[in-house]
Amino acid sequence: MNFKRFGAPVALVAAAALALTGCAANEAGGGATDEAATGLSGTLVGGGASSQQAAQEAWVASFQTANPDVTIEYDPAGSGAGRDTFIAGGSNFAGSDRAFKDEEIAGDFASCVADTGIIEIPAYISPIAIIFNLEGVDSLNLDAATVAGIFSGKITTWNDPAIASANPDATLPATPITPVHRADDSGTTENFTDYLHAAAPEAWVDEADGVWPLEGGEAAQGTSGVVDTVTGGTGTIGYADASRAGDLGTVSIKVGDEYVEYSAEAAAAIVDASPFAEGRTDGDLAIELDRTSSEAGVYPIVLVSYLIGCSEYQDTEAGALVKAYFSSIISEDGQAISAEAAGTAPISSDLFDKASAAVESIK
Amino acid sequence: MTPSTASSVREPRVKAKQRPGDRIFAGSTLTAGTLILAMLAAVAAFLVIQSIPAVTTDPGEIPILAGETFWSYVAPLVFGTLWSAALALLMAIPVSIGIALFISHYAPRRLAQGLGYVIDLLAAVPSVVFGLWGANVLAPAVQPFYSWLTETMGWFPLFAPPASGTGRTILTASIVLAVMVLPIITALSREVFLQTPVLHEEAALALGATKWEMIRTAVLPFGRPGIVSASMLGLGRALGETMAVAMVLSASGGINFALLTSSNPGTIAANIALSFPEAFGTNVNVLIATGLLLFAITLVVNSIARWIIARRKEFSGAN
C-alpha cells in the first residue's frame, strides 16, 4: 500500500473522528435542568444494574451539564456486583434490580455511618411487553396461566382453545408457537418469571430467576436478540422492554376481569398499587410488587430498579452529591430524560413525594 | 537456550566481533520468545487460581449451578463446543481445499490473485458482523429448508423434529463458524499447495497422469501436514469463537445431537459471554473454570495436531 497516497486522507479522517467524539461527550441530555450553578464538585462513583445503563448515561450527562465540576461514573456491572461493591464501600451509590433483603440491611455498609440505614428509591420503572409475530394478528388477550403455558411449552399451537377462547375476534392459524427467551442472565427474565410464578403458580412452578429456568424454547442474546428473533421468525413470542416492541404484536394481560395493554401509566400504576415492604426505615422505599393485583388499569409485568444510597454518609461531600444527583433523577425532568433514553415509565406524583422526602433525608 | 549453544559452536573459530546490533537483536528476540511463554503462564495461572473456588465451594451455594455439580453444568457446554466446531470443520475443510486447489492449480493467474484477496478479506470481517449476518439473514433464510428436512427426513436422528421456528440452530451456528474458519484454512492450504515441487508435478504428468491424478499423487500428499495444521488453526478459532455463536445460537438445551431444533447445547465461550455481565461472587469463578476447561481442550487439540504433523513428516516429501 502506498502510504504517501493514502496516509494524508486517513490521518485527516482520524483527526476528524477524534475531534467529533470530543464534541459529543456531554451533549446527550439536551433537556438539562437549567438550575443556577450549584457549586457542587467532586466525583461520584456508582455501579450496578445493567438495565439502568441507558438511563444512567442520560441522567449523568444531564447532571454533569448542569454541574460541570461534578463527575459521575456508573459501572453497569450487574445488580449483584453493584450491591456487593456498595456494601464494601467501593461505590457511593448502587443501582439494583431488587431491593436489599432484610438480613443484608442488618449488616454494615462501609460508606455509611454505622446503624443509620440506607435509602432505596424505585426510580426506574420499565414495563415489559410480551411481543409476538403472527400474521394477521396485532394484539392478543391472554391471562397469566396461558402465558405460562405458552412459555413452558404446554400450549404449542396458536389456535389452542386457551388462546382462542380469550380472543374470539382474532383469526388464529394452526402455526406452531416458538417461545423466545433471553439467553443471558437478566433482570427482565427475573421480573417476567416472577410475574408468571406469582400470577399462575400452578402453570409456572419455578421461582423467579434471572436465568431462564427451563430447557427448550428459543434462546436469544439480549433485548435486541429477542426482538430480532421474534421479528425474524414465524409464530414467535417473546418478552422485552416495552420501548423496544416496535411494530410487533403485543399481548394485553388479564388483570382482574379486564385485559390491560402495557403503557407507561399502567406500569407506574402497579407500583402505586403495591405496598411498601414492611419493617423498613423511612427512606427505604422497597416495594413488594403485587403482581396479582386486580385493580383496574395496572400492568403487572414491570421491571423496577432501585437507586440505593446511604441515609447518612461518612463522607458528607459524597452525601451532598448523591442527594443532588438522586433528586435530579426523580424530578419530572429526570424521569422524562430516562423515558426518552430508555423507555421507562415516569414515577407517579405520589411516589415522587415519598421519594423526594427520602432523598431530602440524605445526609 | 539458542544463544548458548550457538556460542559453544562458535568458540573454536576465530572469535567474531560482537557488534551492538547483534546483541540488541539477539536480546530482543530472546525477550519476545520469553514474553510469549510468560503470557501463557500468566493466563494459565489466572485461570487456575480463579477456578479453584468453583470446584471447592459447595455447589448448593453457587446460584449459577442451580443445585447441579460443576461437571454436570459444564458437560453440555463442552459437548456443544466440540460438536459445533466439528460440524464447522466438516463443512469448511472440503470447501477450503477446493478453493485452495482452484487458486493454486486451476484458476487463470489474474483470477487466482483476485480470489486470494477476497478470501483474505473474509478473514478480516469482525465476528460480530458474522453474528449479525447469521442471526438476521442466514437463520430466517434456511428456516423453511429446516422445516422441510424435519418433515421428510425426520426419521434420521440428526434431523429429528421439531424444527426451530427461527432457524437459529446449531447447524446455522456451525455454518457461520465454517464461513469464519474458511479463509484461515484456505489461505494456509493455498500456500502449501503452491510449494509443491514442480518436478513432482511434471513427473506425474510425464507418466501420463491427468490433472486430477497429478493433484492426487503429487500435490495432496505433499500438502497433507499443511492441511492438517491449517485445519487445526481453524479448529482453534471455531472452538474459541464467542460473539458469533452467542448471537446466532439458541442455546437452551442439554446434550442433543439433533441439528434443527430450538434446544441446542451452548458453547463454553458463548456461555461465558452471555452469563458474565450479571455474574458475581462464585458465579464468576464457575465461568472462569469453564474457561480453563476450554483452554485445556484447545491445548489438547493443538498437541494432537502437532503429533499428526510430526508423524506425517517423513512421508510428506517436504524434506
Write out pLDDT tens, residues B305-317.
788 778 766 544 4
* Grid cell at residue A230: 421474534
Using an 8 Å Cβ cutoff, are A162 and A140 in contact? no
Question: CB distance A79–B278 less than 8 Å?
Answer: yes
Q: Is pLDDT of A34 > 70? A: no
| B253–A221 CB contact, under 8 Å | no
Domain assignment present for residue B112? The answer is yes
Mean pLDDT of A160-185: 89
pLDDT per residue as tens digits for the range B36-57: 999 999 999 999 999 999 888 8
Contact A178 B164 (CB under 8 A): yes
Segment of A83-92, A174-183, A282-291, B24-33 carrying the highest mean pLDDT: B24-33
Could you tell me the three cell numbers for A306? 432501585
Q: Give the confidence band of A22 by pLDDT, cuts at 50, 70, 90.
A: very low
Measured between beta carbons, which residues in chain A are less than 8 angstroms from residue B281?
80, 84
Q: How many domains does chain B have?
A: 1
The nearest alpha carbon in chain A to B245 belongs to A221
Q: How confident is the model at residue A38 (pLDDT cuts 50, 70, 90)?
A: low
Which pLDDT score, from 0 to 100, does residue B12 have?
Answer: 63
The domain in which residue B273 lies consists of: 24-315
Residue A3 banded pLDDT, cuts 50, 70, 90:
very low
Name the fold adopted by A128-267: D-Maltodextrin-Binding Protein; domain 2 (3.40.190)
Q: What is the DSSP string of A325-351?
A: HHHHHHSHHHHHHHHHHH-PPPPPHHH
Identify whether B17 is part of a domain.
no
Give the model confidence (pLDDT) of B111-147 as tens digits.
998 998 888 888 889 999 999 999 989 998 998 999 8
What's the confidence (pLDDT) of residue A213? Answer: 87
pTM of the complete model beyond 0.90: no
Question: What number is the average pLDDT over the span A99-104?
Answer: 85
Region of poorest pLDDT, from A124-128, A206-210, B14-18: B14-18
Please report which helix (H) or strand (E) contains residue A250, including its range. strand A249-255
What are the structural domain ranges in chain A? 8-125+304-360, 128-267
Whole-number percent of chain B with pLDDT over 70: 93
Nearest to A215 among B168, B253, B275 (CB): B253
Q: Residue B123 maps to which CATH number?
A: 1.10.3720.10
Which chain B residues are closer than 8 Å to A210 by Cβ?
A: 278
pLDDT of residue B314: 55
What ipTM score was computed for the predicted complex, to two decimals? 0.71
- pLDDT of A56-85, one tens digit each? 999 999 999 988 889 999 988 888 888 888
Q: Is A50 in contact with B278 (Cβ distance < 8 A)?
A: yes
pLDDT over 90, % of chain B: 51
At B76-109, the pLDDT tens digits run 999 999 999 999 999 999 999 999 999 999 999 8
Is the pLDDT at A31 greater than 70? The verdict is no
Average pLDDT, chain A: 84
Question: What is the CATH number that goes with domain A8-125+304-360?
Answer: 3.40.190.10
Residue with cell 537483536: B25
pLDDT for B252 equals 81
Q: Give CA separation, B164 vs A101, A146, A331, in Å.
A: 40, 21, 46
Q: Is residue B12 part of a domain?
A: no
Chain B residue numbers with beta carbons less than 8 Å from the beta carbon of A189 are none
3-state secondary structure of A7: helix
Mutation pick from A177, A185, A223, A248 vs chain B, by most beta carbons of B within 10 Å, is A185
Task: Report the DSSP pairing between strands A302-310 and A118-133.
Answer: antiparallel
When mean pLDDT is compared over A111-120, A261-270, B87-96, the highest value belongs to B87-96
> For cell 517423513, what's the residue?
B314
Q: So what's the pLDDT on residue B66?
A: 76
Please indicate whether, in this complex, the C-beta atoms of B281 and A80 are within 8 angstroms of each other. yes
A328 near A61, Cβ under 8 Å?
A: no
Select the residue from B252, B260, B263 to test the A interface by mutation, using most A Cβ atoms within 10 A. Answer: B252
- Spatial CA neighbour of A236 closest among A145, A147, A129, A131: A131
Query: pLDDT confidence of A151, banded at 50, 70, 90?
Result: very high
Indicate whether A261 pLDDT > 80.
Answer: yes
* The dihedral sign for the CA sequence B132, B134, B138, B144: negative
Whether residue B2 is contained in a domain is answered as no
- Residues in chain B with CB shorter than 8 Å from the CB of A220 are 135, 168, 250
Q: Which of A3-7, A346-350, B52-56, B179-183 has the highest mean pLDDT?
A: B179-183
Contact: B251, A219; criterion CB under 8 Å: yes
Task: For residue B11, tell me if it sits in a domain.
Answer: no
Per the CB < 8 Å rule, is A185 touching B279? yes
How close is the nearest chain B Cα to the Cα of A295, in Å? 34
**Which class for B7: exposed (0-12), middle (13-18), buried (19 or more C-beta within 10 A)?**
exposed
Shortest distance between the Cα of A305 and any Cα of chain B, in A, equals 14
C-alpha A176/C-alpha B55 separation (Å) is 42
From A327, A344, A310, select the one nearest A116 (Cα to Cα): A310
Residue A115 in this model has a pLDDT that exceeds 70: yes
Residue A20 above 50 pLDDT?
Answer: no
Band (pLDDT 50/70/90 cuts) for residue A28 is very low
Q: What is the mean pLDDT of residues A10-15?
A: 50
Alpha helices in chain A (DSSP H): 3-24, 53-66, 79-88, 102-106, 144-151, 161-166, 187-199, 222-232, 264-273, 316-330, 332-342, 349-360
Mode of pairing for the β-strands spanning A118-133 and A249-255 = antiparallel
